[in-house]
A and B are shown apart, each in its own frame.
Chain A
Amino acid sequence: MRPEPGLSFAAAFAPALLDPARSTPAIVTGPNGKSANRRYDVYRNNVTVSLIDALAAVYPAVQRITGTEFFRAMARVHVRSNPPTSPLLFEYGREFPAFIETYEHAQDMPWLADVAHIERAWLDAYHAADASPLSPARLSAVPPDRLADVVFVPHPAARCLRSQYAAVTIFAANRDDASVMRIDASTPEDALITRPEFDVTVHRLPPGGAVFADSLMSGQSLGEAAASALDAGPGFDLAANLAGLIEAGAFISLACGDPS
């Protein structure tokens, strides 16, 4: 889109903000014939640093794991190639976990991207709409012959994530200033993120729990979800998993599907 006459300044000013190879735009100047290079650099610096700060605010555990210097170098590359498209900075960084996966200096931390996925989901849960979680009594009131048809409405904050690594344990150990401990990263862990009231909680799902939670949260009936979970692992404990999801605040309501 071509700007109106007299309004092309932004098109001239913007491209060098995130590209250090470009020189200071010719449309700007310092006062009284002074140079504008260091002056324009203030804007470059404000943009780049504030966006790196924005990623650091979304991904504090990733930063604690990598150290600040490593994190900021990694974030700088991402910020320059993927600036935000929304003015809401708490929405920024959705592509960062995928970027981490391909970032060459992070290849010896194959679990790092999954930790980042949990942090992104944590912030989404934090800002999600308020809703009262489903009371366990609602399920008790369903006649036993209708149970298999029950469909659950997920809580706006609820998210389920799967990892081949111990992503939940690594996340939990690095979200605060807890002391460093040894973690066996090779144990697969699945995460359930919920915010029943105002506190976001990250739960580690039991084996088979993620298939079950994913199925229910995507609108499958209880019968279908149980069948999928049992297919995935014959030892699946239906009653414990369902009670766990409800207690964690993963749902807000349920509907008894019509048998027809």
Chain B
Amino acid sequence: MSTVFKPTGPAAMPLRFAVPIGGVAGTSFKPEHLADILEAGPRRGFFEVHAENYMGDGGPPHRALEAIRRDHPLSLHGVCMSIGGPRPLDKAHLARFRGLVARYQPALVSEHLAWSTHETSFFNDLLPLPYTEATLACVCDHIDQVQEAIRRPLLLENPSTYVAFRETAMRETEFIRAIAERTGCGLLLDVNNVFVSATNHGTSALDYLADFPLSRVQEIHLAGHAEQADDEGEALLIDSHDGPVADAVWKLYEIVIQRRGAVPTLIEWDSKIPNWPVLQAEAAAAQAILDRHQATAFAEERHAA
């Protein structure tokens, strides 16, 4: 490990607040697209990677990420920190995450409101949690630790869920707002997750967005979903990231951008990965919506100043 991640104490890593990258659309970076991306040269936008895929010591993954990072802003998206779980954070994993932040200086750093590890088992899925005072305190404590380690605010992503917990005592939006207020973290709003969860729980995506602390949103995710059926034969949407963004999600996205102004937006596509031009076209569709609302962002910034 030491050859890649220079061991630095907390004091040695300076506070960093990345320069905002503005209202640009990005895509997941997939190694199979590397040659196409490099051949086309620097482009407007950004690339997002799953942090865990770059936690090896060396080899082709780091070479590819260095090549991408040379000409583009990067978004580092953690998938396995288990921030929503009751167990203490994995210190070794946190150190690896911090090492990637220090090495690649990403413009955006995010993780999930979910858990994936229990006892000694890693389940490789974003598992749900009940929303109570006890879990709120635990999640905030974990985010404090992450932000202390990476020396900058983290963006926390809203989950897509399939079940509810009997003990849940507050709305998800209320829970997320409280986290942002207590920890100062930013938010990553996954609009597809909003749509998937609202459908699965028989609630309104528009109500969710109306109640969501949009001013805290620093990044947006858009992705495709799949449809199955629940025990009653009604639609159960699966957050599958394996296809184009659904029309209903594009509509919600435009509503969000109208209200929030242009913020970095990612097209997330993680399986059945299409050719680079297809992914690029999805990003261009998001960029067109962002560009229609760039003025809103400026207005909001001036207002805030």
Contact = CB atoms under 8 A, between A and B. Distances in A.
Interface of A: 3-11, 13-14, 17-18, 26-32, 34-40, 42-43, 46-47, 50-51, 54, 83-90, 125-131, 156-157, 195, 198
10 contacts: A10-B118, A13-B127, A28-B166, A31-B203, A38-B228, A39-B236, A87-B79, A90-B53, A126-B56, A198-B63
Nearest to A127: B56
A129 B3 contact: yes
Contact of B162 (A3, A42, A85, A195): A42
Contacts of B60: 126, 198
B39 interface: no
B127 A43 contact: yes
A39 to B, nearest CB: 4
B232 A35 contact: yes
A128 B86 contact: no
Nearest to A32: B202
A174 B93 CA distance: 34
B165 to A, nearest CB: 6
Contacts of A129: 3-4, 57-58
Contacts, number: 165
Contacts of B85: 10
B281 interface: no
Nearest to B117: A87
Contacts of A17: 123, 125
Given A30-B163, A85-B121, A128 B134 contact: no
A255 B163 CA distance: 61
B115 interface: yes
A7 B138 contact: yes
B231 A37 contact: yes
B54 to A, nearest CB: 10
Interface of B: 3-4, 52-53, 55-63, 79-80, 82, 85-87, 90, 93, 115-125, 127-130, 132-135, 138, 162-167, 200-203, 228-232, 236, 238
Contacts of B167: 6, 9, 27
Minimum-distance CB pairs A-B, first 9: A6-B134, A127-B56, A87-B80, A7-B86, A130-B58, A35-B231, A129-B57, A28-B163, A14-B118
Nearest to B81: A87
Given A40-B163, A129-B3, A130-B3, A54 B57 contact: no
B119 A87 contact: no
A47 B86 contact: no
Contacts of A13: 118, 127-128
Contact of B229 (A38, A46, A195): A38
Contact of B124 (A5, A47, A125, A128): A47
Nearest to B84: A10
A10 B58 contact: no
Contacts of A43: 125, 127, 162-163
Residue of B90, B117, B121 ringed by the most chain A CB atoms within 10 A = B121
A89 B115 CA distance: 16
A36 B59 CA distance: 44
Nearest to A195: B59
Nearest to B202: A31
